Chains A and B, each alone.
Chain A
Amino acid sequence: MSNNVDYGKQSFEKYCEETFGIKNVFEKPEAFKGYRVLSCTQYILGPAAASYFAELGAEVIKIELPKAGEPMRHTTPFNEPFLYPLSRWYPDKGTGLGFFGANPNEYFVGLDFHKEEGKEIMRALAAKSDLMVENYRPGTFDRWGIGYRQLKEVNPRLIYLWEGGFGGFGPGRSRASYDILGQSQGGNFSITGQPADMHGHPSKHTIWLADYWGGMMGATGALAAIYWRNNKSGQGQMIEYSQVHGVQRQLEYALPLWGKFGVVRQRWGNWDTELSIHGIVMCGKSSYPDSDNPQEQEEGFILISAYKDADFARLAEVMNRTDLLDNYATHEARITPEAQKYLYAEIEKWTADKTKEEVAEILHSHGINCQPVYNSKEVATNPHWQKRGAITWIDDPSFGDVLTQGAFVHMSDTPPRIKWAFKPVGADNHYIYQKLLGFDDGKITDYENRGII
Chain B
Amino acid sequence: MNYSHSQNFAFGAKAAHHKSRKKPWFKFILVTLFVVGSWQVGSSVYLLVKAHLAQYLIADAWQATLEDGEQHKPWSWADTYPVAKLNFPTLQETTYVLEGASGRNMAFGPARTVSSGMPGDSISTVISAHNDSHFNFLGHLKLNAVIDIETLKGEFSYEVRDIRVIDSKQQQVVINQQDELILTTCYPFNALQTGGSMRYQVTAIRI
Are these two chains actual partners, yes or no? no
Q: Which A positions have Cβ atoms within 8 angstroms of B?
A: none
